[in-house]
Amino acid sequence: MGDSFSLKECGGWRRDAMRLSGMWLMLRRNNDRDQLSEGLPALAGPRRPLPTKHLGTNVRPGAWTRTNTDSQADTSANFTLFPTTMNLEKYFQRIGFRGPGDKADLPTLKLVHWHHIMSVCFENFDIHCGEKLVMDLEVVFHKIVHLGRGGWCMENNFLLTHVLREMGYEVTVLGARVFNASLGDFSPIEGHLVNRVTIDGKSYIVDVSFGASSQLWEPLELVSGKEQVQVPGSFRLTDKGDFWILEKTNRKPEIVNPDFADSNLVKKQLSRPIYCFTLTPRHMEHFVETNEYFQTDPSSLFVNKSICSLQTPGGFRALIGWTYSEVTFQAERGVDVYDMKDVPDEEIESLLSDKFKIHLPKKFQPVNRHANYTL
Q: What are the pLDDT digits (tens) for 129-146? A: 999 999 999 999 999 999
In a domain, 319, yes or no: no
pLDDT of 302: 97
Closest CA relative to residue 288, chosen from 71, 134, 97, 106: 134
How open is the CA angle 147-150-136, to the nearest 5 degrees?
75
Which H or E run contains 234?
A: strand 233-239
Catalytic residues: 153, 192, 207
> Residue 268 — pLDDT band, cuts 50, 70, 90?
confident
Q: Is the pLDDT of residue 272 over 80?
A: yes
Closest CA to 185 of 276, 111, 268, 266: 276
Distance CA 337, CA 254 (A): 5
Residue 339 lies in a domain: no
Checking phi first, is residue 120 left (phi over 0); if not, alpha (psi -120 to 50) or beta? beta
Which has the higher per-residue pLDDT, 340 or 48?
Answer: 340
Report which of 194, 128, 132 is spatially closest to residue 164, judged by C-alpha positions: 194
Residue 68 located in a structural domain: yes
pLDDT at 109 over 90: yes
Q: Read off the pLDDT band of 42 (50, 70, 90).
A: very low
Strand 335-342 relative to strand 252-255: parallel, antiparallel, unpaired? parallel
For residue 285, what are the domain limits? Answer: 10-39+60-252+261-303
Statement: residue 289 has pLDDT above 50: yes
Give the up-direction half-sphere exposure of residue 226: CA atoms within 13 A in the CB hemisphere.
Answer: 9
* pLDDT exceeds 50 at position 61: no
Number of compact structural domains in the chain: 1
Please tell me the predicted confidence (pLDDT) of residue 81: 52
Q: Looking at the domain assignment, is residue 106 inside a domain?
A: yes
- Whether the predicted pLDDT of 79 surpasses 70: no
Which CATH number do you get for residue 118? Answer: 3.30.2140.20
Q: Examine residue 121 and state whether it is found in any structural domain, yes or no.
A: yes
Note whether residue 350 is domain-resident: no
pLDDT in tens, 164-199: 999 999 999 999 999 998 889 999 999 999 999 999
Q: Is residue 363 part of a domain?
A: no
Q: Is 183 a domain residue?
A: yes
Whole-prediction pTM? 0.81
What secondary structure does DSSP assign to 316-333, as a single string? EEEEETTEEEEEEEETTT
Around Cβ 310, how many Cβ atoms within 10 Å?
Answer: 23
Q: What is the pLDDT of residue 84?
A: 58
Render 273-288 in DSSP notation, one character per residue: EEEEE-S----GGGGH
pLDDT in tens, 349-362: 999 999 999 999 89
